[in-house]
Chain A
Amino acid sequence: MFKSFQTRLVLFIVALFALVQALTFTAVRAGIVNNIFDQARDQLMAAGGILERGILATTEDLAQGTSILASDFGFRQAVATADHSTIMSALDNLATRIKADRIMLLSLEGVVVADTGSAIDAAARGDIVTIGQANAPFPFVDMTEEAEANGRAVSIAVLDGRIYQLVVVPILAPVPIAWITIGLEIGDVFAGEMRRQSTVPVDVSFGFADEKGDWMIESSTIATPLRSALAAALRNRPLTTPITLDLGGADYVTVVAPVPGPQQSETVYAILQYSLDVALKPYRSLFVQLLILAGTAILMSFIGAALVARSIAKPIRRLDFAAQRIQIGRYTEKVPVTHDDEIGRLSLTFNQMMEGIAEREEKIAYQARHDMVTGLPNRVALEAHVAGLIVNPPESSAGLVSVALLQVSRFAEINNTLGHDTGDQLMRKISYGLKQAVPPGTFIARHANNMFALSLVVADDEQEHAALERIVAAFSDPVDIAGSNIDVSLVAGIARYPSHGTVARTLLQHADSAIFAAKQKGLAIAVYEATADQHKPERLSMMGELRQGLEKGQFKFYYQPKVDIARGKITAVEALIRWMHPERGFMPPDLFIPLAEQTGNIGRLTAWALETAIAQSRAWTEKGIDVRIAVNLSARDLMNRHLPETIANLLTKHRVGHDRLILEITESAIMEDPVHALGVLKALSDMGMTLSIDDYGTGYSSLAYLKSLPVQEIKIDKSFVLKLASSPGDEILVRSTIELGHNLGLKVTAEGIEDAAAMAILDAYGCETGQGYFISKPLPAAEFETFYTTSRWSPVRNIRADAEQTDEAPARG
């Protein structure tokens, strides 16, 4: 019920208005009634005054008459002679003459001598008047005393339960010889006469209360049935203030005033009443008019409220509809702003809100389909786009859909070492470069963190290949990010519809596989080949073969000597893994190590490597070959918390000293998870092993950062050393790296030494250790043993080595 706001508003306003009207009407009516009451009271008071004068006048008349009669000589003579029967007949005569209702003769002492009693009717009939209660004292002593003082007394008093107008006068002969008391009973006629003297139509009653408090109404102008009601209404009522009495269903303003009388009598009251109904009669039409006015006002308020409510509710409904539209995602229809009020402002805000929601939704939708860093579509968008192309290929491509993924090499490392801001900037630069390089109509997306995707519109494979070559070539130069040059290399993998897949996701997976293939082959661009797919069963079987190979001894270490440059003596070897596959032949580590890392087989490989290297160390020690063996650890190995313990166990098992082992770790391996890596490195370092940063210079770690690692050595990457003698830039780089390393307390190893000149330079710079083909290629263990004892770097062929070193000296300058 009343669910509508409009209905409730209307009801509220109308109810409020009706209440106000009712209150007003009540107040006006109460005011008028009060006023009438006051008027009536005043009129009653005035009437009371008139009444008093009226009573006085009548009693005066009575007193006059009585006095005259009392001085009638014959009467006086009769009284003086005390002839009782004469007295009675004289009283009778007197009663008839002045129409008295009761006459009493009192002795001077106040004893009733003769009394006609109250049998007025008997007197009227001419019967002999009976003697009343003679010899009883006259009750109203006040009156006789007053008569004695003033010659007469008049009063209204209650005698034998009736109200009389009483007059007491002396009978003078010529001095008072007796008192005569004449009583006129106050009846309805008297009340009627009193009313006639009033200017307003008041009702007059006379009454008194007996000792029990019951009222007797003896004289009244009101109808007989109402008298008992009046008597009942007056019972136990305070009489001092005007009151309103309900008699027979009508209200009467009532003033009750005591009539002066002798103290010995019950007090007689004059009861003056004024009917409120009568008084209100002139106002009745006013009340009707007020009611009509109130009714009209309420009707008007209803109409007004309905209009106002509609004017409020209508725009609210509009807002309601607008909100529903927003709910279902329709933001185009605006709420009309019709008024410059709260509703108008709300509508305006509503519209702004709608725009805001639309904007944000658009943004969210955009974000859901775009990469926030580059602003390019993301993988979701890419897949949708490719799916769209599959369904509806562009005409120019003749039904061919070509998807290329471009992986940014070493992006994770760049992020970790130079920070994500730099990484993001790099990606933005690359995305910008891509946009420049791609053929028109190419859809560019960021497929993954380090990967872009292109959906090419090309007519054939040739066009596609040419485009990709151009793109890859575009990033041959280092990219400048905030003043530092970053080498970027892209590797592209291509998958084509329909030959490489019929679903967008499959095409992307296959393009990813193609990237892997390209990296394995050292190519910049590769097209998907089902046979090379690492996810294919062939790859899985290779991992199986790897495990078998480990068991069957297909893996071997080749040892490349490391020479103390200053002394020209072999001090250590780097153990390099070789897999002699029975069918595929020599397998380069680049081919199977990443695969082993990905498939979780690296642990087996590492375990083999450590066991083999440590066992070899023991064997060589026993043969008197004093070299330390360096073993490469992969990033995964650094995640293994048990690695230090494993190594310690192996060293103990083979009784090899901790200092005999050098562990080489690449920068990127540490950067993959620096926290875990650091823990493992610290444990290893604490055990007394030498830790060496491999391939130093290819990553982005600063020397300062390396200083915080528990490492003792850096290995300058061979790419800097290979052309050391011919490239001044590399020379400066190497020299400064060596100096910085030394300054930080690190030893420096240079690998990739290919000629004597490089060796000499490194010696001049104070590089501690050298490694490279100039010294020796990696050798099987047996061959190394020969090399150790026979070569010019042999620490056991002292004289010759010294001689050669002397020969070489001038070339170093």
Chain B
Amino acid sequence: MALAVDVGTLGASTGAHAGSISVHVSAGNKPADDAAVVVAMAKDAAPATVNPGTKAVMVQEQKQFVPFVLPVQLGTIVEFPNHDLFRHHVYSFSPAKTFELKLYGGGESQAVTFDKEGVIALGCNIHDTMLAYIYVVGTPYFATTKGGAQVLANLPAGTYTVKAWHPDQRVGTQTSQEVTVTADGTVNVDLTLTLKQARRRTPGAADENAY
């Protein structure tokens, strides 16, 4: 819900003379699940950073990170509120952001600013089953897919590289497509992901439904 609002907000802020890209992501002849993220990056543009103070939230709740995949724009501050009654120890050894939020209790929240593009795998040192990804991109045009499809709207006319990312995608199978977006026009892009059989160490099967 929050994500949809964000996208809407992002699309609205670009103003008139905007086109859109309709992306369809498939994995194994099926539409990709909702962990997939689609990103459009203007060609030859430098990584775009958010306004300082822009925030996003990664909740710890019932020994789960929610959402499972959180795409954010470069410079976003992500809050890590603990909604459980016990403490968590959030960490990341990912090169894009190595950090450690040492044990903190329920009701407490800590924040980390993500200032480098890349994938950050989040874990909890005392709950091995907890796993989430923060995907930091240098463009305002991104969104998680819904049913393997998403429309990136309000794009100024120009040439974009459209790619899809998924936490379970096999190394070296990144796919992208270059498209030209015209004002008021919609470009269709089909992308295919190669996923590995990820083994999620989850106590339940409610991950994806949680988004």
- Contact partner of A71 (CB less than 8 A), chosen from B121, B122, B128, is B128
- CA distance in complex: A150, B124 (Å): 21
Q: Is B199 an interface residue (CB 8 A)?
A: yes
- CA distance in complex: A76, B122 (Å): 14
Q: Is A73 an interface residue (CB 8 A)?
A: yes
Encode contact with A along B95-112: 1 for CB under 8 Å, 0 otherwise: 000100000000000000
The range of chain B's interface size is 10 to 19
Residue among B122, B123, B201 with max Cβ neighbours from chain A (10 Å): B123
Q: Is A175 an interface residue (CB 8 A)?
A: yes
Question: Do A172 and B123 form a contact, CB below 8 Å, given A71-B128, A80-B93?
Answer: yes
Question: Do A77 and B93 form a contact, CB below 8 Å, given A174-B121, A174-B122?
Answer: yes
- Contact partner of B121 (CB less than 8 A), chosen from A148, A151, A175, is A175
- Chain B residues with CB under 8 Å of A148's CB are 196, 199
- CA distance in complex: A109, B92 (Å): 21
Q: Please tell me if the beta carbons of B128 and A172 are within 8 angstroms of each other in the complex.
A: yes
Q: Is A229 an interface residue (CB 8 A)?
A: no
- Contact partner of A174 (CB less than 8 A), chosen from B98, B130, B196, is B130
Q: Is A177 an interface residue (CB 8 A)?
A: yes
Q: Is B197 an interface residue (CB 8 A)?
A: yes
- Chain A residues with CB under 8 Å of B123's CB are 172-175
Q: Is A809 an interface residue (CB 8 A)?
A: no
- Chain B residues with CB under 8 Å of A71's CB are 128
Q: Please tell me if the beta carbons of B121 and A150 are within 8 angstroms of each other in the complex.
A: no
Distance to closest chain B CB from A766 (angstroms): 161
Encode contact with B along A532-567: 1 for CB under 8 Å, 0 otherwise: 000000000000000000000000000000000000
- CA distance in complex: A108, B171 (Å): 10
- Chain A residues with CB under 8 Å of B124's CB are 174
Distance to closest chain A CB from B40 (angstroms): 26
- Contact partner of A177 (CB less than 8 A), chosen from B93, B167, B197, is B93
Q: Is A149 an interface residue (CB 8 A)?
A: yes
- CA distance in complex: A80, B120 (Å): 13
Encode contact with A along B169-195: 1 for CB under 8 Å, 0 otherwise: 001000000000000000000000000
Distance to closest chain B CB from A77 (angstroms): 7
Question: Do A174 and B199 form a contact, CB below 8 Å, given A76-B93, A77-B93?
Answer: no
Chain A: which residue is nearest B129 at the CB level? A174
- CA distance in complex: A173, B98 (Å): 11
Q: Is B38 an interface residue (CB 8 A)?
A: no
- CA distance in complex: A648, B124 (Å): 173
Encode contact with A along B67-101: 1 for CB under 8 Å, 0 otherwise: 00000000000000000000000011110001000
Distance to closest chain B CB from A87 (angstroms): 13
- CA distance in complex: A213, B94 (Å): 49
- CA distance in complex: A174, B126 (Å): 11
Chain A: which residue is nearest B125 at the CB level? A73
Distance to closest chain B CB from A146 (angstroms): 11
Q: Please tell me if the beta carbons of B199 and A150 are within 8 angstroms of each other in the complex.
A: yes
Question: Do A173 and B121 form a contact, CB below 8 Å, given A76-B93, A80-B93?
Answer: yes
Chain A to chain B contacts (Cβ below 8 Å), 15 pairs: A73-B91, A73-B125, A108-B171, A109-B171, A149-B199, A151-B201, A172-B123, A172-B128, A173-B91, A173-B93, A174-B123, A174-B131, A175-B121, A175-B123, A175-B131
Known: A73-B91, A173-B121. 10 other contacts (CB 8 A): A73-B125, A80-B93, A148-B196, A148-B199, A172-B123, A173-B92, A173-B123, A175-B121, A175-B123, A175-B131
Residues in B lying within 8 Å of A, measured CB to CB? 91-94, 98, 121-125, 128, 130-131, 167, 171, 196-197, 199, 201
- Please list the 7 inter-chain residue pairs (A to B) with the smallest Cβ-Cβ separation, ordered nearest first: A174-B123, A80-B93, A173-B93, A175-B121, A174-B131, A73-B125, A151-B199
